[in-house]
Amino acid sequence: MKTSEINELTSKEIVERLQAEKENLVRLKMNHAVSPLENPMKIGESRRNIARMKTILRSRELNENQN
């Protein structure tokens, strides 16, 4: 998910997607521990998506506090 796509979402939608992405990351890690994933780069991609969403949420929170 690109940053521009995340910016178009509301804060509530981002929180929901963040929860889903965290669950997906846990599932990927568990599957990778049991048997190697076909594409282990998906774990890193998922981590980066979580970081992007958290960053955008935090910047929105700071902007609301300044106003």
Q: Which two tokens stand for residue 62?
A: 């700071």
Task: Work out whether the CA dihedral 41, 43, 37, 35 comes out positive or negative.
Answer: positive
DSSP 9-59: S-HHHHHHHHHHHHHHHHHHHHHHHHS--S-THHHHHHHHHHHHHHHHHHH
36 φ, ψ (degrees, to nearest 5): -55, 140
Total number of domains constituting the chain = 1
What are the pLDDT tens digits along the chain (67 aa)?
A: 889 999 999 999 999 999 999 999 999 999 999 999 999 999 999 999 999 999 999 999 999 998 7
pTM listed for this prediction: 0.91
Residue ranges making up the domain that contains 45? 3-66
Residue 32's CATH number:
1.10.287
Q: Which two tokens stand for residue 7?
A: 């910016």
